[in-house]
Amino acid sequence: MNDIRNTSVAPERTGSTNTIVHASARPSLEVPVLDCDSVSIFYDDFRAVHDVNFACLRNEITALIGPSGCGKSTVLRSFNRMNDLIEGARVEGAITYRGEDIYGPEVDAIEVRRRIGMVFQKPNPFPKSIYDNIAYGPRVNGMKVDSMDDLVEEALTRAALWDEVKDKLKQSALGLSGGQQQRLCIARTIAVQPEVILMDEPCSALDPIATLRIEDLMQELRNDYTIVIVTHNMQQAARVADKTAFFTAEANDTTGDRTGVLVEFGDTATIFESPHDKRTEDYISGRFG
Amino acid sequence: MARRTMQETVHTTIRHKARSGESSPKSIGFLVILWLAILFALVFLTVLIVTTFIDGWNRLDSRLFTEYPASDPEDAGARPAILGSLWVIGTTALMTIPLGVAAAIHMEEFANRHHWFSRIVEVNVQNLAAIPAVIYGMLTLGAMGLMGVSNKNQVWVGALALSMLILPVVIIATRESLRAVPSEIRQGSLAVGATPLQTVVRNTLPAAVPGIATGSILALSRALGEAAPLLLLGGLVFLSFDPNGLTSGYTTMPIQIFNWTSRPQAGFHELAAAASVLLLVMLLAMNALAILIRNRYQKRW
């Protein structure tokens, strides 16, 4: 059922009904949803990230924090193979989704992205109606749905946007406010029924109130999805995340290239209150970065 | 006391700046030159349009649309030329737009930009856009000779020459409008599991349509006013029938105008002026449509 090598769309996931299958309804598995094993990421010869090891568990929020240029976004984008779009990008080591190598030879990047959705830094609704924004994913994936209207309503409801837009579904999504647009992008991601949602600084373009709404939403979504979030905002990581990975950039002695490394990974409380590594402590307490 | 001195200093500084600022003689002199340059262009254009209009006023009637060319200017009209222009431009549009848009999509969305082949194509598309129209006429003439097509006065042959003429322009305009679609839109589409082709067909291309339409209409309006390549291809003919198909003989408005102006009778000159006004109106209408589409559907991201 979760075989990502199955390149055809998986109608059995939607079944005959259009209700979104809850991740929590699936049998529990010991295997982490996402697992990085000695992952290094290169852009041509440049080593952007070196030897990263951590795992994201089901129904948990994992935050990736660290100063600019530490490779946290690069790691996030390698989880759904969005890095494939950058010329010369290459991953060494293994990133596994439920035990399967995402970069395996038989794996289709399209299928990976369907299972592992992504919300971007800047809200990027399609220049279409609100309704079509949500229906886009199910349509391109050929998902069999009994009623697209119901699916759109459910996705928007889950993204806490339904009440605000239910009377203007046919209007352009570009007319929404920034915060609404970002929740629309979350709804759009939910609509294809992924298991993992990656969020790349989803609140950096939003005001504090819109940010809080997204954070509340993430807490609700955690019940059904596994979330990985990159954030510059340490308070945000402390507020929402179960686990936190702290990255930093280290300069290469000979070339001077800055390579991202994972300094510390653990429970958010541990990272923020009693970090084991001096660098983490310095960053958390605002001494650098 | 100290405060007052400071204020005085500020005042003098502002006054000093004024000498080389916007109202200085140098700046004003330059501004006047710019205005004169615009004025020159506008006056020239106005005189041209007004004189053409005055010359052709008497012949701007229904005869222009209904009559066929004749030896007596009183009985002559541009009916076959108008229809011929529509046939040739319509065929050109059908040949160029799908090809140009497809080429642009490949170059912009799929081709590896750093590959040597893509670079050669890219440079050549830019270069081809700057080549004089008559060269395309000669190219088509040569190609028809090689293909053994002896009757070159056919709608599709003319359209082929004009297609080659405006294909680079359509490709460039399409690429520009595709490039104007933010990459975030493509990424958003790919992130929900769309294939690159679905992303182009369902998202990028529809968002680029206003720009493509504008560019294509402007390119077609250039083709509409073009006479040189069609003259080479035997477009200068005396037609007493309506062009009625792709293989039909044709003449176009610029050629008809060219023909009439070379006649000695003053009546034909009037006709030429009237046909020029009509051509001008058609071109302005096409450009207005292009501007309308651009303003109406322009997306702000």
* pLDDT tens digits along B268-282: 999 999 999 999 999
Query: Do A124 and B195 lie within an 8 Å CB cutoff?
Result: no
- B295: confidence class by pLDDT, cuts 50, 70, 90: confident
Calculate the average pLDDT of chain B: 89
| pLDDT (tens digit per residue) in A183-209 | 999 999 999 999 999 999 999 888 899
Interface contact flag, A82 B187, Cβ < 8 Å = yes
Instruction: Classify domain B62-297 by CATH number.
Output: 1.10.3720.10
SS3 B162: helix
Q: What's residue A18's pLDDT?
A: 44
Q: Do B192 and A189 touch (CB under 8 A)?
A: yes
**A126–B188 C-beta distance less than 8 A:** yes
> Does A82 contact B at CB distance below 8 Å?
yes
Q: What is the mean pLDDT of residues A212-216?
A: 91
Closest chain A residue to B206 measured between Cα atoms? A127
Query: Which residues in chain B have Cβ-Cβ distances shorter than 8 Å to A85?
Result: 187, 190
Report the pLDDT value the prediction gives residue B175, as an integer from 0 to 100. 95
Question: What is the reported pLDDT for A176?
Answer: 94
Per the prediction, chain A carries an average pLDDT of 87
The dihedral through the CA atoms of A23, A24, A28, A34 has a sign that is positive
**Is B300 close to A136, i.e. CB distance below 8 A?**
no
Q: For the segment A155-188, what is each residue's pLDDT rounded down to a tens digit?
A: 999 999 999 999 999 999 999 999 999 999 999 9
Cβ–Cβ contact A185 with B under 8 A: yes
Res B39 pLDDT > 90: yes
ipTM comes to 0.84
C-alpha distance from residue B120 to each of B114, B127, B261 (Å): 10, 11, 43
Q: Is the pLDDT of residue A20 over 90?
A: no
DSSP conformation class of B158: H
Distance from CA of A189 to the nearest CA of B (A): 6
pLDDT at position A6 over 90: no
What is the total residue count of chain B? Answer: 301
Beta-carbon separation of B187 and A185 below 8 A: no
Residues of B in contact with A80 (CB under 8 A): 191
Environment class of A258 (CB within 10 Å of its CB; exposed 0-12, middle 13-18, buried 19+): middle
Q: Please list the residues that pair with A198 across neighbouring strands.
A: A118, A228
Q: What is the pLDDT of residues B199-222, one digit of tens each?
A: 999 999 999 999 999 999 999 999
- How far is residue B33's CA from residue B176's CA, in Å, rounded to a whole number? 34
DSSP 8-class letter at B244? -
Question: Which chain B residue has the Cα nearest residue A125?
Answer: B185
Query: Is A114's CB within 8 Å of B192's CB?
Result: yes
CA of B111 vs chain A CAs: smallest distance (Å): 12
Instruction: State which residue of chain B sits closest to A109, comparing Cα positions.
Output: B193
B-chain residues within 8 Å CB-CB of A185? 188
Q: Which residues of A touch B300 (CB under 8 A)?
A: 174
**Which residue in the set A140, A188, A191 is minimally distant from B202, CB to CB?**
A140
Phi-psi region of A99 (alpha: psi -120 to 50; beta: other; left: phi over 0): left
Q: Does A174 touch chain B (CB under 8 A)?
A: yes
What are B75-121's pLDDT values in tens digits?
A: 888 999 999 999 999 999 999 999 999 999 999 999 988 899 999 99
Query: Taking the domain A11-284, which CATH number applies?
Result: 3.40.50.300
Listed by start position, the domains of chain A span 11-284
Edge-first strand listing for the sheet containing A89-97 = A100-101, A89-97, A34-43, A46-56, A258-267, A243-251, A61-65, A226-230, A196-200, A116-119
At A43, give phi and psi (nearest 5°). Answer: -115, 105
CB pairs under 8 A between A and B: 72
- Two structure tokens written together for B300: 């702000």
Q: CB within 8 A of A79, min separation 6: which ones?
A: A34, A95, A102, A116, A196, A198, A228
pLDDT at residue number A288: 63
The C-alpha atoms of residue A60 and residue A196 are separated, in whole angstroms, by 10
Instruction: Please list every residue in chain A whose beta carbon sits closer than 8 Å to the beta carbon of residue B206.
Output: 127
CB atoms A120 and B114 under 8 Å: no
Cβ distance B187 to A87 less than 8 Å, yes or no, reads no
Residue located via tokens 């510390």: A264
Residues of B within 8 A of A120 (CB-CB) are 184, 187-188, 191
Residue ranges of domains in chain B: 19-59, 62-297
Q: Given this model, what pLDDT does residue B27 score?
A: 87
